[in-house]
Amino acid sequence: MTDFAATRRLFHLPEGVLYLDGNSLGPLPVAAEARVREVMTREWGNELIKAWNTADWIELPRRVGDRIGRLIGAAEGSVATGDTLSVKVFQALAAALALRPERKVVLSDTGNFPSDLYIAGGLIQALGGGLELRLVAPEEVEGAIDESVAVMLITEVDYRTGRRHDMTALTAKAHAAGAVTVWDLAHSAGAVPVDLAAADADFAVGCTYKYLNGGPGAPAFIYVAPRFADSARPILSGWMGHEAPFAFDLDYRPHASVERMRVGTPPVLALAVLDAALDAWDGVDMADVRAASIALSERFIAEVEARCPDLTLASPRVTQARGSQVSFRHPQGYAIMQALIANEVIGDFRAPDLIRFGFTPLYLSEEDVMAAAKVLERVMTERLWDDPAYATRSKVT
């Protein structure tokens, strides 16, 4: 069994703060500070440019990719890291479309993260040729898969409510119709068990600053199924995806593996933080994480519904139908969340009316969840949210 008391000690958690927002930004891993200091002083400071070889900086994207791969059921050598999630969505979708040039539809759902849809729309506009982004309600995705679909672009866990798609079933349906799949794991990696190989997924992408605790703006990752590793076309043909980057050829020859999905120079400091953060996952069983997160979220739902009748559960009630986050609705959701934060319970708000909480067993306990529910009860019963100071929206909500 995973020792969550031990993993909790691996994170810097401010005294007195109940942090239920790891689904948006994970806390600082204790090991990250020392790791970055080592990279800055011993490697960059003393080795200078030699560190690309002496400290093996050049291989960081691959090594970190393999560590992430263990958590998402990806074969060794099938995950590359670097750039942002939006860039990786662009790459994956472009490569997937190139595999079905005779088809014109990208299928997604209205619960997808808006940035994924922006990327898809921009790529479709740039490519032209009659391509279409077709959006349906989340529960209508399976029925909308037909032989006109080139690519199914789906986020497995809804960023607002935690609603979870059945990756295996939808992938099988897409393949039966001849479509290619791209899965966004932004709210899945490190939160729920993922097995890309078993699900037969074609492409997957994800960020690392949420449940993987890689820090703000941490590098994203992309998975390419081994069957496409030497044929997926990287529309962003950067020098680090070249077969021989330091040959400096004028003609682009893609690497024969997922490495072709690398674009620019690796962000070494950011990758070092992520590498240190992934140490917390050594010896952690994702089945244990899932069981613990379900127990925490179920307890929180029960407590909030008993204590706060004015809040309405927005997340699926069935545990297997949601990820590791829970949302409630209220017309004054933004002000409620600001009042909570002022009282040292940190979640976040998603328009138009959702207060959202993440349940991350690596550092959250049942006592934390109970304490947070009690603070929420006080915010609601004493109407602490009804303060003009909590109505003014910050740039980041």
Task: Report the catalytic residues.
Answer: 113, 184, 209-210, 356
> Within 13 Å and on the Cβ side, how many CA atoms surround 23?
29
Decide: helix, strand or coil at residue 319: helix
Burial 133-165 (b: 16+ CB within 10 A, else e): eebbebeebeebbeeebbbbbbbbbbbbbbbbb
Q: In whole angstroms, what is the distance from residue 304 CA to residue 298 CA?
A: 10
On the 0-12 / 13-18 / 19+ scale of CB atoms within 10 A, 383 is middle
Q: In whole angstroms, what is the distance from residue 272 CA to residue 291 CA?
A: 30
CA 15 to each of CA 19, 337, 345: distance values in angstroms, whole numbers, following the listed order: 10, 20, 12
Strands 325-329 vs 312-313: parallel, antiparallel or unpaired: antiparallel
- Which secondary structure element, helix H or strand E, spans residue 142, and what is its range? helix 141-144
Q: In whole angstroms, what is the distance from residue 147 CA to residue 129 CA?
A: 18
Q: Which two tokens stand for residue 76?
A: 């060794």
